[in-house]
Structure 1
C-alpha cells in the first residue's frame, strides 16, 4: 500500500472517529440540515437541471442543451434591460443600504434600554410591514390626491399631476428610493446585536493607546470586533439588492412601463408563473444565482482584506 493511500485511509478513519465522538451534535443538526437540503440545495440543483430543458409543467421535460442560455444571452432584449436595472439596483442600494444599516445601528446602540428597543422597532418596522407598499402607492399616486403631487402643486413646482409610476424616467429612481427605505432589515438587526457584543475593555485599552474620539473607536475597535456580523450583513444586503421584485411588481406592475422597472427576478416570474416556460425561467434563475455567488465572493474577499 502506498503512502498516499495510507494517508487517505488514516484521514477517513480520523473523520469517522470525530463523527462518532460528536454524534450528539450531528443528531441535533440533522433536522436543520435535512430542511436546508430539501428547501435550498435541492431546488437549486433542480433549477440548474431544468435550465437545460424545455419544460412547460404539462409535458415531460425535453433536453435542449444550451438553447435556453443562448436565447437568454443573445436574443432576449428584455433580459438585457433586466440585467441593467438589477445592476443599477445592486450598485446603488447594496452599498448605500449596507452603510445605512451600520450607521443607524451604531447611533441607536448609543441609547439604553427601552429607548434603544423602541428606535430599533421604528427603523426595522418598514422591512417587515406587509402594507409598506400601500403607503408609497398613496404618496406616488398619479392624480392630484397623491401626497407628492399635492405637495408639489401646492407650492407651484408643477402645474398638473405627474404619473410617477407610469412615466419611464421616474420609475427606476423611485423604486430605488423605496428599496432604500425598506432596506433596514436583517442586516440592521445583525449590526445591532454585534455592537452589543463588543468587549468594553477594548475601548479602555484603545484609549490608553491614543484613541481619542468615537470615530476612531468605530474604525479601530468596533468594526474589527464585528467582522462576522459585517460579513453576514454584506451577504444579506447583496442578496436583497439582487433579488428585488416585490417593489417593482407592487408599485410599477409587471411588466412596468417600457420595462423601466424590470429586474432579473420579475423577468423570471414572468416566464415561470405566467408563461409556464419553466426551463427558460430556470436558466434565468441559474444566471442570477451565479451573479449572487460571484458578487458575494468578491465582497467577502474585500472585507477580509480590509479587516486584515
Structure 2
C-alpha cells in the first residue's frame, strides 16, 4: 500500500478510532521497549558517548558558525556573515575547496576500488598466506612515521632517491625541488595518500568476503551464472553490502579530511597554497588564529560535503546486483 493510499485510508477513520489506534501503537512500542530493556541498557554507554562527543559537537559547531567567537569573549551573533566571507572574500578557501574536490574525486574512487580488488585477490589465498598479505597491505596505514620515507624519496637535493636516480640515468642535470614546486605537490600527495589508503575499509572488505555463503555460488551455477564476473556482481557484492557501505563511508571521510599528508610533505602552509585543503584551512583559523566562528563555518561546509557524498554513494550501492 502506498503512502497516499494509507493517508486516505486513515482520513476515512473516525477521530476516536484513530486516537485509539495511536494509543495502541504507543503501548506496543512501550511494551517492546520493556521486553528489550536489557538491550537498551547495554547500548546506553555507547549512545551516551556518541551523543556527547559526536552529535553534540556537530550541533554546537553549526550554532557557533553563525557567531563571532575568539575564545576570549562571549560569542556574538553575526548571521550569515561567516559564510559570505568564506565564499565571497576568502580566495584561499576556494583554492582549498578546489584541491579537496580534486583530491576526493581521485583518491576516493581509486582507493575504494583498490581496497576491494586487493581484498578480493587476497581472499583467494590460503589462510596463512592471506593473513600475511593482509598485514603487509594494512601495515602502511598504521605505521608511525611513514612520511619520513617519502621525504627521502622526494628530497630536493641530489641525495633524494628520485633525484639521484634521474640524474644517474642522465634524465636530469640538476635536482628538482619536488615538494617546493607547485606543479608537483598535489600529484605527490595524491600518490602518498593512495599508498596509505588500504586501511580500515580494506579490512572490512576482507571480513565481508569471508562471510559470503559458499552455497550461494553453487545455487548461482544452477541458475545460470557462468563466470567469476557474474558471481562477483550477482552474489559476492550483494552479500556484502554492509561492508561496502562501511568502506565507502571510510574512504569518503578520509579523502575529504586529508590534512596530515599535506602538512608533513608540503608544509603548513604549502607553496602558493598548492596543497591547501579544507581541513588545513580549518586548522589555520581554528588552532592558530582562534577565529572559532569562521572555523566552525568551514567545518559545517565540510560536514555537508561529506553527508552529501555519502548519500550519493548509498544510492549507487543500492543498485549493486540489480
Fold shared, TM-score > 0.5 on shorter chain: yes
Rounded to whole Å, the distance in 2 between the matches of 1:278 and 1:7 is 49
Whether the 8 Å contact between 1:203 and 1:217 is mirrored in structure 2 is yes
Q: Is the counterpart of residue 223 in structure 1 residue 237 in structure 2?
A: yes
TM-score of the aligned structures, taking structure 2 as reference length = 0.93
Higher Rg of the two aligned structures:
2
Whether the 8 Å contact between 1:227 and 1:307 is mirrored in structure 2 is no
- Please list every run of 5 or more consecutive structure 2 residues that lacks an aligned counterpart in the other structure: 1-14
Residue of structure 2 in register with 1:177 after alignment: 191
Larger CA deviation: 265-274 vs 56-65: 56-65
Shift of 1:187: 0.7
Rounded to whole Å, the distance in 2 between the matches of 1:198 and 1:135 is 38
Q: Report 1:141-220 matches (<5 A).
A: 141-220=155-234
Shift of 1:8: 3.1
Larger CA deviation: 90-99 vs 207-216: 207-216
Q: Is the counterpart of residue 265 in structure 1 residue 279 in structure 2?
A: yes
Shift of 1:3: 4.0
Shift of 1:306: 2.9
Rounded to whole Å, the distance in 1 between the matches of 2:49 and 2:247 is 23
Rounded to whole Å, the distance in 1 between the matches of 2:146 and 2:206 is 23
Residue of structure 2 in register with 1:286 after alignment: 300
Q: Is the counterpart of residue 241 in structure 1 residue 255 in structure 2?
A: yes
Q: Report 1:20-169 matches (<5 A).
A: 20-169=34-183
TM-score of the aligned structures, taking structure 1 as reference length = 0.97
Residue of structure 2 in register with 1:10 after alignment: 24
Give deviations 1:149-180, integer Å, cap 9, x for gaps. Answer: 11111111111111111100001111100110
Rounded to whole Å, the distance in 2 between the matches of 1:168 and 1:103 is 32
What is the RMSD of the two structures over their aligned residues, measured on CA atoms? 1.2
- Please list every run of 5 or more consecutive structure 1 residues that lacks an aligned counterpart in the other structure: none
Rounded to whole Å, the distance in 1 between the matches of 2:110 and 2:237 is 17
Rounded to whole Å, the distance in 1 between the matches of 2:282 and 2:19 is 48
Whether the 8 Å contact between 2:66 and 2:78 is mirrored in structure 1 is yes
Whether the 8 Å contact between 1:54 and 1:277 is mirrored in structure 2 is yes
